[in-house]
Amino acid sequence: MVQDRPNGRGTTKTASPEETNVDEPVKKQSLYKSLYFQVFTAIVIGVLLGHFFPETGTAMKPFGDAFIKLIKMIIAPIIFCTVVVGIAGMEDMKKVGKTGGYALLYFEIVSTVALIVGLTLVNLLNPGGGMNIDPATLDTKSVSQFTGPGKLQGTTDFLLNIIPTTFTDAFAKGEMLQVLLIAVMFGFALHTFGGRGTLVFDMIEKFSHVLFVIVGYIMKVAPIGAFGAMAFTIGKYGLGSLASLAKLMGTFYLTCLLFIFVVLGSIARYHGFSIWKFIKYIKEELLIVLGTSSSESVLPRMMAKLENLGVRKSTVGLVIPTGYSFNLDGTSIYLTMAAVFIAQATNTPLTLMQEITLLAILLLTSKGAAGVTGSGFIVLAATLSAVGNVPVAGLALILGIDRFMSEARALTNLIGNGVATVVVAKWTNDVDTNRLRAVLNNETEVLADNPELVLDAVNTQMPVQVK
């Protein structure tokens, strides 16, 4: 029997004691059976193969590509089902707009802080100082594909692109914001016809269960995908390519760590949870992102895990997909650091006003390029051109190590969006704080927000039917 349980932050569905024992601790499993261990082992093997047998490592690329494609094919329908079920099942429809407004406010504030942190530390640590690079001697052919005319979307084009050409076009192309728009409209429309309990609602809800079972199947091959992607990266670029630009990489990784544990850690602590425990909770997802350099590769798992923390389904469905376009903290840090690094390496002095201008332009251009392939270089090229002082040719300096820095970008983006979802849920009273505390402390196996689903903490941590 399913009951409604008030918790001071909204009513949350939970199962009765006959269905689950909330005092029963999570069972331990063999180390070699855990996804964390399997992915970590696969990454190590991929690094070794790529280093000692570069050609063979490069040939492993299809494994990584195939895994990411498998995940991407399931993202659009999962977002649609999650958002529709969440919105159509809500009693207070005004809360949807409130949640969206709070999310955008949080995204803008925190992404601005990320830009400022990157700008501050790159000036303090000066990773490009002493390189004395002459821009005229750089080979710009390799970066020409990112700096051509018409590559960067303007803000107007970006906003118009949220509206799909047809209903099915958004799903066919996998455009997250377009699917989100359709899902929000569909959810509101379904609510007017009765919402929860209607035939359409029940069908979509059951379909979402099927989709998460499919995700569980896909995640069983996550170690193979991580192995292929890592073997390709090391085989193609080599560990030796890191040495010449190690200072920039070290500065960037250090900045990301400081942002996660100081900025996001402070935000998390203020809102009643530990960033350390949160990172431990999503350790499998972080390892998969480390191997694939794609935060999208774990989007379905993150949505399920955040629901399991006690965050309302509609909040998860709205905040996470939107954050993938508007809350890229790691990318924001990278953009400011890369731009100033190029100026330092080419002995191009920047005044305080020019750096503030750089910051302001990045606040706009980073949103306009969200979701575009090669967006980091596209945004940098557009921004450097707008500032006018930093040579665009300097992009050639960081092209070779960009792939190695993408892991830190993706990891920071993932953690940032996870924290954002919990914080926005706190603001809108859409999180069960008791369950949040219990799950992060690993005290009990707790039901997900949807009473028919529970995260299997022993095996794949995907939702399964409650017996």
pLDDT band of 258, cuts 50, 70, 90? very high
Do 311 and 458 form a contact (C-beta atoms < 8 A)? no
| Pairwise pLDDT comparison (277 vs 29), residue with the higher score | 277
How far is the C-alpha of 378 from the C-alpha of 401, rounded, in Å? 16
The answer to whether residue 17 is domain-embedded is no
The answer to whether residue 466 is domain-embedded is no
Most confident of 21-25, 213-217, 264-268: 264-268
Of 88, 103, 52, residue with least CA distance to 240: 52
Task: Report pLDDT for 193.
Answer: 83
Task: Report pLDDT for 9.
Answer: 42
pLDDT band of 264, cuts 50, 70, 90? very high
Eight-class DSSP state of 31: G
The domain that holds 149 is classified in CATH as 1.10.3860.10
pLDDT band of 290, cuts 50, 70, 90? confident
Q: What is the mean pLDDT of residues 410-426?
A: 92
pLDDT band of 319, cuts 50, 70, 90? confident
The answer to whether residue 338 is domain-embedded is yes
Task: Report pLDDT for 6.
Answer: 40
Residues 419-465 have pLDDT tens digits of 999 999 999 998 888 899 888 887 655 444 443 344 443 333 444 44
User: Based on the structure, what is the number of domains in the chain?
Assistant: 1
Please state, as a whole number, how many other Cβ atoms lie within 10 Å of the Cβ of residue 273: 24
Range of the domain at 189: 29-442
Task: Report pLDDT for 242.
Answer: 61
Task: Report pLDDT for 17.
Answer: 37
Return the SS3 of 295: helix
Residue 275 has pLDDT above 80, yes or no: yes
pLDDT above 90 covers what percent of the chain?
14
Q: What is the mean pLDDT of residues 395-419?
A: 82
The answer to whether residue 6 is domain-embedded is no
Residue 195 has pLDDT above 80, yes or no: no
The answer to whether residue 239 is domain-embedded is yes
The answer to whether residue 261 is domain-embedded is yes
| Pairwise pLDDT comparison (267 vs 73), residue with the higher score | 267
Residues contacting 91, CB < 8 A, separation 6+: none
Task: Report pLDDT for 146.
Answer: 56
| Pairwise pLDDT comparison (140 vs 170), residue with the higher score | 170
The answer to whether residue 21 is domain-embedded is no
DSSP string for 242-292:
GGGGHHHHHHHHHHHHHIIIIIIHHHHHHTT--HHHHHHHTHHHHHHHHHH
pLDDT above 70 covers what percent of the chain?
75
pLDDT band of 257, cuts 50, 70, 90? very high
Residue 361 has pLDDT above 90, yes or no: no
The answer to whether residue 43 is domain-embedded is yes
